[in-house]
Structure 1
Amino acid sequence: MRAGRPAAPGQEIALTVAGMEDGEIIWGVDAYPECWDGEAWSPRFTLFTDCGGHGPVSVLYGPRLIVGLGLLGPGPEAHVLPAQLEPGWYRIRKRGEGRDLVGYLQVQ
């Protein structure tokens, strides 16, 4: 998954799965910016793409019901970064067809 150039907190980003064609992948509406905590990658927020006409949103990470809607194709898929995101490197994780898709993003 490719996230592109550095971004700012609150900025809208577009995620794309590299090397896949339309019809080759299905992925969910949610994505997770994760920080390295010294031992493992730890999610901080849940990002949702626009799947209900309200635009992309971000919320603090925690247990919640996530719509089981699959998006077909490699994207691009719009997300908005949380305004509270601190500068640094993040791993963006998504689920796609039973596997994790990951990309790295620098927040300035």
Structure 2
Amino acid sequence: MHWLYLGIAIIAEVIATSALKAAAGFTRPLPSALVIGGYAVAFYCLSLTLRTLPVGVAYAVWSGVGIVLVSLASWLLYRQTLDLPALAGIALIMAGVLVINLFSRSLPH
């Protein structure tokens, strides 16, 4: 169940972060509501995840997957592109998330 909560937290955070640009400094009501609601759901679900997962592992997965998904969303929604060093950095972050998930003994089985 902790992975489901973490997945919901990640998706909610990606929606909230992606809506920040559209919120235009919280001057547009609908995107602003997405930001506030998305972060509320994200942090609530992350807190539920922490009942089982160590905080360092949960945060590493949350932030690592979030970086990739926010980068994808910004490319799709705002036509923002990344150069090769940025893509390489994101690939290294994802490699770290995979190492944690595949080899960490601190994860519950």
TM over 0.5: no
- Higher-Rg structure is 2
**Structure of higher RCO (CA pairs closer than 8 Å, 6+ residues apart):** 1
Give the TM-score category using the shorter length: under 0.3
TM-score normalized with structure 2 length = 0.24
Give the number of the structure whose residues are more often helix, by fraction.
2
Higher strand fraction (1 or 2): 1
